[in-house]
Structure 1
Amino acid sequence: MIYLDYAATTPMCEEAIAAYAEAAAVYFGNENSLHDIGTKAKQLLTLCRRELAAMINGETEGVYFTSGGTEANMLAIRSLIAARRHKGNHLITTEIEHASLYHLFQQLETEGYAVTYLPVDRFGRIHLADLERAITPQTILASIQHANSEIGTIQPLADIGRLLRAHGILFHSDCVQTFAKIQLDVKAMAIDSVSISAHKVYGPKGVGAVYIDPHLHWKPVFPGTTHESGFRPGTVNVPGIAAFITAAKRLYGRMESEQTRLEQLRRRLLDAIAAKQLPVTVEGHPDCRLAHIIGLIVNGLDGQLVMLECNRAGIAISTGSACQVGLQAPSRTMIAVGKTPEEAKQFVRVSLGMATTEIEIDQLVSTLEQLIRTRRGAWTR
C-alpha cells in the first residue's frame, strides 16, 4: 500500500519505538512519586521538556504534556480565558480552524463568550485588516492556526502576533501540522500559547503538548489537579513522551533537507498533472504553504469516489481532515475559500512524508489519470 495521508497521522519511526521500549522498561515510575524510581522518571520528563522548549525557542517551565493535539487545544484555550474572564468575553478565531478548536469555540458561545470567526481569502489566508477590525475592548484571546491541515496554507504568525501583542490580546496557535516541519519560534512570532501532537511527527498517538509563556497566568480547568503543575489530571505518560521527543528531534534535525525533498516531490506531482492536462485544480496558497500537504479538486468527480478508487488501487489519500470523516457537510475549509458545496465535495488531500518516493508520486498520477479517463471519458488534449 502506498501511504499518502501523512497529514492524518504518521507511522512511528524506529527511534521512537526504541525510546518508548527503553523508557517503559527503565523509567516506569510515576514521576510524582518521591522515591528514587519516581525521581528517575521525573528527571527524564524534565529533559523532555527542555528539549521540546528548545525546538520552539521557548522556556522549559512553559511546557505541559497532554494526551494529544485536541486536548492541548482545549486545555490551552480554557486555561487562558478562565484567567482573563474578568477582562472581557470576546474571542477571535478563523473559519478554517481544526475541528477541535472550531467546536470548542462553538461551545464557548453557549457559555457566554462572543466569538468572531475571521474569513479567509481564496488561498486560505486571513487579512490582518480583518483581524484588527475584529478587535474590541472586550477581546481577550485570538486563536489562529499556523497552517491548515487540508490545503497547507500558512498564516503570517509573526505579523499576527505583533498586532495582537500591541493590543494586549493573548495569541494561541494550533501548530500540530507545522511543528518540526517548518520553523516555529514562539518569541520571534510573539505567540503566547501553542499546541502540538506527537503522531504528526512520527511519534506515538495519544501524546501531545501545550506551551504557554510561563510569565502568563492561567487557571486550571480541573481544580485540585497535581499532575503537570496542575494543568491536567492523570498519570503522565513518560514512555510516550520520551518517544515523542525522540521522534520530534529526529525530524527537527533534518527539517531543511526534508522540506527541500518534499518540495521536489510536490513539484513532480503538480508538473505531471499539468503535463497530462488532468482536470485537477490545486488548492491553497501558491507560496505560503506547507510542502507536504497538497489539496486537490478533481473536477467533476466526487472526492469520496476518488479516495475509494485510489484505495482500491493500493494508494491511501483522504478527503480532508481525518477528524471530519463521516460528516455529511462539505469541507469547511473549501467553503471558506469560496467553493460551492458541490465543488467542495470534489476535494481530496494528498500528504507526503519521509517515506514518500518519486515512484509513488508517479503511481498516484497514473491512477488519477486512469480513474478520470474511466469515469469521464477521454478529453481533448
Structure 2
Amino acid sequence: MIYLDYAATTPIRDEVLQVYMEVSRSYFGNPNSLHDIGSKAKQLLELCRLELADKINAEAEGIYFTSGGSESNLLAIRSIVDGYKHRGNHLITSATEHSSVHNLFRQLETEGFKVTYLPVTLEGQVKVEDVKAAITDRTILASIQHANPEIGTIQTIEEIGKVLRENQVIFHSDCVQTFGKVSIDVKKAHIDSLSISSHKIYGPKGVGACYISPSVAWKMQVPDTFHENGFRPGTVNVPGIAAFVTAAQLICDEMGINTKKYQLLRQKLITGIQDIDHTITIEGHPSHHLPHIVGLSISGTQGQYIMLECNRCEIAISTGSACQIGQQKPSKTMLAIGKTHDEAKQLIRLSFGTGTKEIHIEKVLEVLKTITKNL
C-alpha cells in the first residue's frame, strides 16, 4: 500500500519507539511524587520541556504537555479567554480553522461571546487588513492557524501577529500541521499561544503540547488541578512526552532535507497532473504553502469516489482533514475559498512523508489518469 496521508497521521519512528519503551521501563514514576523515583521522572519531564521550548524559541515555563493538538487548542483558548473576559467579549478567528477551534468558537458564541469569522482569499489566505479591521476595543483573542491542513496554504502569521500585538490582542495559532515542517519562532511571529501534536511528526499518538507565554494570564479549567502547573489534570505521560520530544528533535534537525525532498515530489506531481487533464485543479496558494500537502479538485467527481478508487489501487489518500471525514459534509475550507457545496465535495488531499518516493508519485499519476479517462 502506498501511503500518502501523512497530514492525517504518521507512523512512529523506530528511534522514537525505542525511547518510549526505555522511558517506560526506567522512568515509570509519577513526576508529582516526592520520592526519588518520582523525582527522576520529574527531571526528565523538565528536560523535555526545555528542549521543546528551544525548538520554537519560547520559555520552558510556558510549555504544557497535553494529549494532542485538539486538546491543546481547546485548553489554550478556553484558559486564555477566561483569563481576559473581564476586558471584553469579542474574539477573532478564520473561516478555515481546524474543527477543534471552529467548534469551540461556536460554543463560545452560545456563552455570550461575539466572534468574527474572517474570510479568506481564493488561495485560502487571511488578509492582514481584514484582521486589523475586525479588532474592536472589546477584542481579547484571535486564533489563526499557521497553515491549512486540507490545501496547505500558509498564513502570514508574522504580519498578523504584529497587528494583533500592536492592538494588545492575544494571538493563538494552531501549528499542528507546521511544526517540524517550517520554522516557528514565537517571538518573531508575536505568537502568545500555540498548539502542536506528536503524531504528526512520527511520534506516538495521544501526546501534544501547548505553549502559552508566561506574560499571558490564563485561568485553570478544572479546580484544584496540580499536574502541568494546573493547566491539565491527569498523571503526566512521561514516556509519551519523551518520545514526542525525541521526534521533535529529529524532525527539526531534518527539516531542510525533508523540505527539499517534498518540493521535488510536489513539482513532479503537479507537472504530471497538468499533463493529464485540465479538469484537475490544484488548490491553495501557489507559493505560500506547505511543501508536503497538495489539495486537488477533479471537476464533476466527488473526492470520496476518487479516494475509494485510489484505495482499490492500493494508494491511501484522503478527502481532507481526518477530523471531518465521515460527516458527509462539504469541506469548510473549500466553501470558504468560494466553492459551491458540490465543488467543495470534490477535494482530495495527498500528503507526503519520509517514506514517499518518486515511484509513488508516478503510480498516483497513472491511477489518476485512468480515473479521469474513465470519467
TM class by smaller structure: over 0.9
Q: Distance in 1 between matches of 2:243 and 2:279?
A: 42
In structure 2, stretches of 5+ residues that fail to align are none
Query: Equivalences for 1:66-81 in 2 at 5 Å?
Result: 66-81=66-81
Q: Pairwise CA RMSD of aligned residues?
A: 0.7
Distance across 2 between alignment mates of 1:357 and 1:32: 45
- The reply on whether 1:333 has 2:333 as its aligned counterpart is yes
Mean CA deviation greater in 269-278 or 166-175: 269-278
Query: How far, CA to CA, are the matches of 2:124 and 2:277 in structure 1?
Result: 25
Residue 134 of structure 1 is matched in structure 2 by 134
Give the conservation status (yes or no) of the 8 Å contact 1:196–1:209: yes
Which letter does structure 1 place at the counterpart of 2:157? Answer: L
* CA distance in 2: counterparts of 1:138 and 1:268, whole angstroms: 48
In the TM superposition, what is the alpha-carbon distance from 1:276 to its structure 2 partner? 2.7
Identity across the alignment (%): 58
Cα offset, 1:275, TM superposition: 2.1
* Deviation sequence 1:127-164 (CA, Å, 0-9, x none): 11111111011000000000000000000111011100
The within-5 A match list for 1:168-207 is: 168-207=168-207
1:379 maps to none
Aligned to 1:24: 24
Name the residue aligned to 1:260: 260
CA–CA separation in structure 2 for the residues paired with 1:347 and 1:75: 30
SS for the counterpart of 1:367 is helix
2:3 equivalent to 1:3: yes
Asked whether the 8 Å contact 2:154–2:290 carries over to 1, the reply is yes
Report matched runs for 1:27-66 at 5 Å. Answer: 27-66=27-66
- Report whether the alignment pairs 1:93 with 2:93: yes
| CA drift at 1:371 | 1.3
The one-letter code of the counterpart of 2:268 is R
- Name the structure 2 match of 1:114: 114
Alpha-carbon displacement from aligned partner over 1:81-111 (angstroms, at most 9, x marks no partner)? 1011100000000000000000000000001
TM-score by length of structure 2 reads 0.99
Q: Which residue of 1 aligns with 2:322?
A: 322
Q: Distance in 1 between the 2:72 and 2:119 partners?
A: 24
SS of the equivalent of 2:363 reads helix
The C-alpha deviation readout for 1:163-220, integer Å capped at 9, x for no partner, is 0000000000000000011000000100000000000000011000000111221111
Equivalent-residue separation in structure 1 for 2:276 and 2:94 (angstroms): 36
Report the 3-state secondary structure (helix = DSSP H, G, I; strand = E; otherwise coil) of the residue aligned with 1:304: helix
Q: How many residue pairs get matched?
A: 375
Mapped partners of 1:230, 1:57: distance in 2:
23
What letter corresponds to residue 43 of structure 2 in structure 1?
Q
SS in 2 for 1:87: coil
Task: Supply the distance in 2 between the matched residues of 1:75 and 1:276 (Cα, whole angstroms).
Answer: 46
Contact 1:150 1:333 in 2 (8 A): yes
Query: Retained in 2: the 8 A contact 1:49–1:63?
Result: yes
For residues 17-67 of structure 1, what are the alpha-carbon distances to aligned partners after superposition, in whole Å with 9 as ceiling and x for unaligned?
001000000000000000010001011100100010000000111100000
Q: Which residue of 1 aligns with 2:304?
A: 304
Matched residue, 1:210: 210
Kindly indicate whether the alpha-carbon contact (under 8 Å) linking 1:63 and 1:210 is maintained by their aligned counterparts in 2.
Answer: yes
How much has 1:122 moved relative to structure 2?
A: 0.1
Cα pair 1:297 1:346 within 8 Å, conserved: yes
Looking at structure 2, the residues matched to 311 and 269 of structure 1 have their Cα atoms a distance apart, in angstroms, of 18
| Residue aligned with 2:86, SS | helix
Amino acid at match of 1:90: H
Amino acid at match of 1:280: I
Report the residue type matching 1:189 in the other structure: A
Contact 1:87 1:140 in 2 (8 A): yes
Letter in 2 for 1:293: I
Match of 1:353 in 2: 353
The match for 1:223 is: 223
1:342 deviates by 1.0
Give the letter aligned to residue 305 of structure 1. Answer: Y
**Deviation for aligned residue 1:278:** 5.1
Contact 2:29 2:38 in 1 (8 A): yes
The SS at the match of 1:261 is: helix
Residues of 1 paired with 2:274 and 2:72: CA distance?
40
1:216 maps to amino acid: V
Give the CA deviation at 1:279: 2.3
SS of residue matched to 2:199: helix
Give the distance between the partners of 2:223 and 2:136, measured in 1 at CA.
30
1:216 and 1:328 map into 2 onto residues whose CA distance is: 39
Query: What SS is found at the alignment partner of 2:244?
Result: helix
Partners of 2:277 and 2:98 in 1: how far apart? 33
Amino acid at match of 2:280: V
Unaligned segments of structure 1, at least 5 residues: 377-381
The 2-side partners of 1:216 and 1:278 are apart by 50
**Aligned equivalents of 1:109 and 1:33: distance in 2?**
40
Q: Is the 8 A contact 1:68 1:207 kept in 2?
A: yes
TM-superposed CA distance for 1:302, in Å, is 1.1
2:220 aligned counterpart, secondary structure? coil
Query: Does the CA-based 8 Å contact 1:294-1:350 persist in structure 2?
Result: yes
Contact 2:277-2:372 at 8 Å conserved across structures: no
Q: TM-score, normalised by structure 1?
A: 0.98
State the alpha-carbon separation in 1 of the partners of residues 23 and 278 from structure 2: 50
Which runs of structure 1 show a deviation greater than 6 angstroms over 4 or more consecutive aligned residues?
A: none
SS in structure 2 at match of 1:199: coil
Q: What is the DSSP-based 3-state SS (H/G/I as helix, E as strand, rest coil) of the residue aligned with 1:318? A: coil
Q: Is the CA contact 1:278–1:369 (under 8 Å) kept in the aligned structure 2?
A: no
